[in-house]
Structure formats: structure tokens, C-alpha cells
Amino acid sequence: MKRFTEYFAALLLMMMPLKFGGLAVMPETGGFYPENFADWFFIVNWPPHSIAFFGTALLIITAFGYREKLNNRILLFLLIWCILPALAAVPGMIRGERLIALGELSLLLGCGSVIAAITLLVGRAPEKAAFYAGALLIGTLFTAIYGWYQHLVVLDEMRQFAAEQEAAGIAVSDGLKLKLSDQRIYATLSSSNVLASLLMLMIPVGLFCAEKWSKYINPPRSGKIFFSIFFTGLMLSVLLLTRSRSMIFCPVGAAMIALFSHSGINKRWKIAGLSAGILLATAGIIFISSQKGRSLASMGERVDYWRTCAVLCKDYPLAGGGWGEFFHTHMLIKVSDIAESARDPHNVVASFASQCGIPAALIILTVLLWPLIQLWPYRFSKTLPGIVFWSGVLFTLHSLIDCDWQVPAMITVMGVLYAAAIAQLPDTGHQKIPVWLPLSILGIAGVTGSAISYHYLAGDKALSRLQDKVNPATRETEISLAHFTVDELAAAAAAYRPRSAVIYMYAGDWYLQRKNLVQAEKNYRKALELDPRRPGAYSRLASIELLRGNRHQAEKYQSAALALFPKSTQYTLEKLYGEP
């Protein structure tokens, strides 16, 4: 049973970047749910929230019959990385959108289940730590290979397919068009920035595994050189193809920490290193501004995010504005001229501070920093704790400038690496409480996460079918849903998500496309009843009134939309009348 558990865990870790790299907690965008099994296994990422099922299964079979005692450091890590993030998310339920809050809990508990299971496994057998780190590396290497395949083949095929769809009269979403016009690659993950983060934190692990695996090559020195060049060359080349800001700033930040914390480097070299870091950062800014679709304006947008977070922290310091409130507030008060409706501030601490309160942000900051504090004394060693320390530094920096922990693969990969490294540290004494107590807490958390995930995914699939009905991606999809009415699919989605305004927005769009203005208006008004701060609903009502010839009423609705998102050109009167 132990051997089966170890191999199941290794397989799940290998699949982590390949199958769990999608963006979670997106309740207004249904996931992919193909009917063909081959599409599930070979093409489509698994729904991100399904990680809870895999994590809970692994946790249960790991904990079954577990008799070993856990040392205090490992026990504390279980609490900090597997339980605290979900607890920090709870205050955001007070004022927040229920669906988003449940999605956050499902995500964090699902990732926590996988991390907890691996922590128990390495707590039982610390010598297996490198085995699990190697499983993550293999999955990352496959991801990098797919990144090259995407760069050379897939993106061109997707552009050709999109052109054929448009030629056939099938609408292609603006989001897909934007992605296809971008030269950056994202492989199996949700974005180029997330792929960059994965590759950055796994490059040190690749060097560590090159050292370990070289013993299987004769002579070992040649094996080490080969593995080092292959691992770093593959991951670094794909990292460059992401053209991500973080691939420049995070390594420079980590290098500065290494430089100024090393007692063996004299002051002159530290000043020289600092100068080199400034030059690299400057070069990075020039590089960013030269890239298509990237500019310094997007960096300025991040400052605007922090301003919105500061406003929410001032107004709701203890429990935050609630999950989803950042989106509404930022649309209303943003000063940047970029018409981007950001869902989060791209900073995990700021996200929790603004939506769950300052105490929750301090908890997340503890989650980020505690493992680094534990590994700090080993930062210049060539052991796994030393290697993982620098992976953790890169992950932490990325979490503070470009990531909100919405991709389950990223949270889980870093948590597993931390568990593997902490298991190698000297024993700090064993727990004095019965082992069944922490196992019971973890088990309850895992089962709770799975139950929430089931409800979330069922609603997600129902929403996906409604979206496919309104905007079918292929002729086959259109035919498969032909015998369902829009109202039937909307009712099925509403059974799981009764407070979701987006369901009625899609139904309204269906009727508006067919010029059934009465039914379209009915659905848009229902959407506003559920979510009065929805500019898109007001804008569509304006379009309906314009079709009826009621220009005055149309302008009132369009003005109401613009008042909710003043920086968006989509809701101006010029846009209403189709003027450039």
C-alpha cells in the first residue's frame, strides 16, 4: 500500500503543471467539458477545482493506517500551508460574492490536501523528498517541451482555425483573438506569466536533480554536465519565449538577496552587483516597452491596483470588502486610462488585504515567509533545503508582483517543494498530541474542499453548456445542443448558481442576437436585479432602447454603464452609436 501511495503521489505531481495549470475561481467563464475521453486526457486541462478530488483521495490513502509521529516543524508546516490559507479566505465571505468565496475555499483546500499528503509522505520517509521533487521536474520538462511545440506549431494552427470559424460565420471571442495575436507562449498554464513563474522556481530544482541523477551515468561528471545543460537549457529557452516581466525582475531580486546576505562578499563587489542589477532592470524595462502588446502603461496599472487595495483596506480594515469587491471598486475609481477590468490586484497579499481584511493579509504573509525563515540558514548549501529556498524566493517575489494564487499547480508545486525541503531539516522534537488529531483536521478540510468543488464544478459545467449554446465554438457543438432551449440551459445553471447574473446575461444575448427584444430585456433586468453594478447589462439595455428608437432612454442606460466603469470606451455614447 505504501508503494502504491508513493507512485500515485509521484504521478499526480508529474501531472500538476500539465493538467492543473488552468485559472481557477472564474465563475463567469465556464470551463471545457468535452464529451470525448481522448480530449480530456490528451488535449484539455482538467478543471482546476478538480484538484480537490485528487488531493483528498491521496490524503486519505496516505493517512490510512498512519502511525508515525510528526516532528513539530512538519506539524507547523501542515497548519501554515494546508489550513491557514483557507482560514484567511473565510472573512471575505461576509460581504463578498458567495460563488467567488466558495471557489477560493475549494481551490485552497484542494491544494492544501495535495501538499498535506506529500508532507505526511516525506515526514514518514525523508529520503523520498528528492523523488517527489524529481516528479515535479519531469512534469515541468514535459510542459516546457509543449511550450516549444506551441511556439512552433500550435499557435499557428489555432490562428488558422479561428480564421476558418469567422469565415463560417461563427463568432470568435475577443479574449481568444487577443491571445492569438500575442506571440508569447503559455504552454499548458493559464498565461505566460504563470508559465514563467513555474520555470523560474523549477530551474534550481533542475540543477539539484542533475546532481542526483548524474550517478546513473558513467562517468558521473559527464552525466551532471549533460543533465544540467539539458534541464536548464530547455527551461531557460522557454522562459525567454514567455517574454514575462517576472523573468527579469524576480531573478534580479533573488540575486540581490543572495549578494547582500553573503558574508563572504566584500562591499566593493556588492556595490558592483547592485549596479549590475540596476542595469539589468533598466534593460528589462526597455525590453518590456519594445514588446507588442506590452508597455510601461501596464506596469503603471499595477500601481493603480495598489491604490484600489488601499481604499478597500481603509474602508474595511478587519474583514475586507469581500471576494469580488476589488473588481467593482477598481472599475469605479481607477485612474489609469487602460480600459482593463481587472478581477484582482495581481498580488496575493494585497488581494487578501482588500477582500478579506488586513489580518487575513498578515496570515498570507506568514504563509509566504515562514518556510523561507526556516530555510534561511541553508540558503548557500547545495542540499535540497538550500535549492528550495531560492525557488521559494522566486515564488514569493512573483506572488507579490504578478500572481494571486489562482492557478492550483503553482500553489501545489511550491508547497510540495517546501514540504520536501523541511523534511530534511534537523528534528525539533516530536508532537505531543495524538497523530489522529491533525490527520482528522486535514481529512475534514479535504472532504469539505471536495464537496465545495463538486457543487462548483457542476455549476461550471452547466454554465459552460449555456455558453456553448449562445456562442458555439464549432458546428458539432451547435448540433449537440440544438434540442435544448436557452431557457432550459439557463435554468439548469441557475439551479447551481441562483445568484449568478452572468447566466441571464448569456440568455439575454441569445435573444438579443435574434432581435427578441422583450425576452432580452427581461433577462438583462434579471441580471441587474442580482447584480446592480453590472455595466454590461445597462449597455445592452441601451442597445435595446436604441433599436426601439428611444434615443433618450438609450443614452440614460449607457450613461449608467459608464458611471460604473468610467475608464471604459465600451460604454461611451460614441460606442452606442457605433462612432469610432
* The dihedral sign for the CA sequence 396, 253, 263, 209: positive
Q: Which of 418, 414, 421, 420 is nearest to 197 (CA)?
A: 414
Q: Residue 347's beta-bridge partner residues?
A: 403
Burial of 529 from C-beta contacts in 10 A (0-12 / 13-18 / 19+): exposed
Report pLDDT digits (tens) over 457-467: 999 999 999 99
Q: Could you tell me the pTM of the whole model?
A: 0.93
Strand partners, 430: 71
Averaged over successive runs of 10 residues, the pLDDT of the chain (580 residues) comes to 90 96 89 79 87 96 87 92 96 93 95 97 92 96 95 83 70 62 85 93 94 84 89 94 85 90 83 81 67 56 89 95 94 80 89 97 97 96 95 95 89 97 86 84 95 95 94 83 94 95 96 95 96 95 94 94 90 82
Residue 428 to residue 412: CA distance in whole angstroms: 25
> Using CA atoms, how far apart are residues 201 and 109, in angstroms rounded to an integer?
23
Residue ranges of the chain that CATH labels 1.25.40.10:
500-580
Cα 34 to Cα 462, 464, 465, 524, distances in angstroms: 13, 10, 10, 29
Q: Identify whether the C-beta of residue 325 lies closer than 8 Å to the C-beta of residue 357.
A: no
Which pLDDT score, from 0 to 100, does residue 179 have?
Answer: 66
In angstroms, what CA-CA distances link 146 with 139, 186, 231, 241, 460?
Answer: 11, 9, 14, 12, 27
Please name the residues in contact with 227: beta carbons below 8 A apart, sequence gap of 6 or more.
206, 209, 210, 213, 214, 217
Q: Is the peptide bond before 219 cis (omega within 30 degrees of 0)?
A: yes
Q: Kindly state the greatest CA–CA separation across the chain.
A: 83
Give Cα separations from 41 to 133, 385, 458, 461, 568 (angstroms): 23, 34, 20, 17, 40
| Bridge partners of residue 411, in order along the sequence | none
* Angle, alpha carbons 338-155-477 (nearest 5°): 90
- CA dist., res. 523 & res. 8, Å (int): 47
* Residue 184, C-beta contacts closer than 8 angstroms, at least 6 positions apart: 192, 241, 242, 243, 244
**pLDDT on residue 271:** 83
Q: What is the pLDDT of residue 262?
A: 87
CATH annotation of 500-580: 1.25.40.10
Helices (H) and strands (E) in the chain, counts: 27, 0
Q: What is the DSSP letter of 484?
A: S
Q: Where are the alpha helices (DSSP H) in 151-191?
A: 155-167, 174-181
State residue 173's pLDDT score: 60
Show the cell assigned to 9. 503521489
Q: How does pLDDT run across 326-355, given as a tens digit for each residue? A: 999 999 998 877 767 788 898 999 999 999
- For residues 284 and 329, is the Cβ–Cβ distance under 8 A? no
416: CB partners within 8 A, 6+ apart = 13, 114, 115, 118, 132, 133, 136
Question: What angle (nearest 5°) sits at the alpha carbon of residue 404, between those of residues 34 and 44?
Answer: 15
Phi, psi of 432 (to 5 degrees): -105, 0
Give residue 276's pLDDT: 82
Beta-bridge mates of residue 71: 430
Question: What pLDDT does 492 receive?
Answer: 96
The secondary structure of 274-319 as a DSSP string is HHHHHHHHHHHHHHHHHSTT--HHHHHHHHHHHHHHHHHHHHSTTT
Residue 347 phi/psi, 5-degree rounding, is -155, 115
Cα dist from 255 to 211, 358, 379, 437, 477, whole Å: 22, 30, 12, 42, 50
C-alpha torsion angle, residues 356, 359, 360, 365 (rounded to 10): 140
- Tally Cβ neighbours within 10 Å of residue 214: 19
Q: Identify the sign of the CA torsion 75, 77, 80, 86.
A: negative
Instruction: Classify residue 186 by burial, with Cβ atoms within 10 Å: 0-12, 13-18, 19+.
Output: buried
- Helix, strand, or coil (residue 523): helix
How many residues are there in the chain? 580
Residue 522's identity, in one-letter code, is: K
What whole-number distance in Å separates Cα of residue 144 and Cα of residue 151?
A: 11
- The pLDDT score that the predictor gives to residue 27 is 87
Name the residue among 138, 132, 189 with its Cα closest to residue 410.
189
CA distances from 161 to 172, 190, 430, 473 (A): 10, 20, 59, 10
The residue among 270, 266, 241 whose CA lies nearest residue 255 is 270
Q: What is d(CA 205, CA 134) in angstroms, rounded to the nearest whole number?
A: 8
Q: Which residues contact 238 (CB under 8 A, 6 or more apart)?
A: 144, 147, 148, 185, 187, 195, 199
End-to-end CA distance of the chain: 67
